[in-house]
Amino acid sequence: MSHQLRLALLQMHIDAGNPEANFAKLAGMLEEAVSQTDKPDVIMFPEMWNTGYALTDIQSIADRNGERTKAFLSEFSKKHQVHIIGGSIAELKEDKVLNTVYVFDRDGNVAADYSKIHLFRLMEEEKYLAAGDKLGKLEIEGAGAGMMICYDIRFPELARKLALEGAKLLFVPAEWPHPRLHHWRTLLTARAIENQMFVIACNRMGSSGDTHFFGHSLVLDPWGEIIAEAGEEETILYADIDLALVDAVRSKIPVFEDRRPSIYEA
């Protein structure tokens, strides 16, 4: 039996250090997404959309306990009866800032959350952010799913762990910059192929200081084929997926049945 989902990925510019501008930008794009005749079932947006990588100011501008974000997205998801994979935000918890995704179901409830567990030294995340310590697991319309954030996709064992625990979809919010477009597309494709799952990745676009972000949000099927890909402009990327394809692919090439973890897992 097919199980169709319509996705909307909000590939947006993020104004580093300016939460007010970013909330306003997101609100406009959300309204545009739900105004479509064929309304999406799931809406997703990029990593650290509320603050960008204004890391030197992050303690003062992060969303305390995610309260503003949760109130805003809960109300929107309930009003429009849509699932939201809330990108990720800079979230202040006690005296630490985490890079956290909140997920909302169609009734506006927080259905899951995940804080980035691999901090990216090239952008000095480890100096300003605290790492999460749990898997990002959720359900969408009864289907198991997982979350990873940006740098996380360089760790195949994390995606495999999520797949082994039932994920058929992998959601990836990101701020992935030039010149590593080839890495972005290749790593996401590999995660889809090796785990026979849908990979849904939403990247930001635009510039922040000397760093330029290329967009290219992607939706990949369990064969690693591209269902939809954005360019570098600000846009909403729509895609339709059929969750039944996961079981079909896993039946055709039974990778999970043929694993021999006793040999290669510590």
The residues assigned a catalytic role are 47, 116, 150
SS3 percent helix, strand, coil of the chain, rounded to 5, is 35, 30, 35
Q: Return the number of other C-beta atoms located less than 10 Å from residue 232's C-beta.
A: 16
Q: Please choose, from the candidates 53, 31, 56, 55, the residue with its C-alpha nearest in 3D space to the C-alpha of residue 43.
A: 31
Sign of CA dihedral 124, 131, 52, 140: positive
Distance CA 97, CA 84 (A): 22
How many angstroms separate the CA atoms of 116 and 130, rounded? 9
CA distance linking residue 224 with residue 189, whole number of Å: 5
Instruction: Tally helices (H) and strands (E) across the chain.
Output: 9, 16
Helix orientation angle between 67-80 and 19-34, rounded to the nearest 10 degrees: 10
